[in-house]
Amino acid sequence: MTSSVQHTGAGGYPKVRRMKFRFGEPEPMTKYYAGDDIVLSHLVALLSAAFPPGEESFIRSVRRFADQITDPVLKKRVAAFIGQEAVHGQQHGRLNEQLFALGYPLPRFVSERGELVQRAERLASPAAHLAITAAAEHYTAVLAARVLSSAEIQELAADPEVRNLLNWHALEELEHKSVAFDVYRSVGGPEWLRIAIMSVLHAFTIPVVGLGVFASIIADPPAWRPITVARQSYRLIRGPIVRGLLGEIQVYLKPGFHPDDVDTAALLRQWQIELFGAEGALVDRVR
pLDDT, tens only, 176-205? 999 999 999 999 999 999 999 999 999 999
Indicate whether 215 belongs to any domain: yes
Give the per-residue pLDDT at 11. Answer: 40
Indicate whether 7 belongs to any domain: no
Residue 225 corresponds to which amino acid?
Answer: R
Angle at 138 between CA 180 and CA 98, to 5 degrees: 95
Could you give the number of structural domains in the chain? 1
Give the per-residue pLDDT at 115. Answer: 87
Is residue 85 very low, low, confident or very high in pLDDT (cuts 50, 70, 90)?
A: very high
Residues in the chain: 287
Is residue 283 very low, low, confident or very high in pLDDT (cuts 50, 70, 90)?
A: very high
User: Over the chain, what is the mean pLDDT?
Assistant: 93
Q: Which domain holds residue 46?
A: 18-285
Give the per-residue pLDDT at 10. Answer: 38
Q: How far apart are CA 281 and CA 147, in angstroms?
A: 16
What number is the average pLDDT over the span 12-30? 90
Read off the pLDDT of residues 216-238 as tens digits, 9 standing for 90 and up.
Answer: 999 999 999 999 999 999 999 99
Indicate whether 170 belongs to any domain: yes
Is residue 1 very low, low, confident or very high in pLDDT (cuts 50, 70, 90)?
A: very low
Indicate whether 12 belongs to any domain: no
Indicate whether 48 belongs to any domain: yes
Per DSSP, what are the bridge partners of residue 286? 19
Neighbours of 116 (CB within 10 A): 11
Give the per-residue pLDDT at 12. Answer: 56
Indicate whether 73 belongs to any domain: yes
Give the per-residue pLDDT at 4. Answer: 38
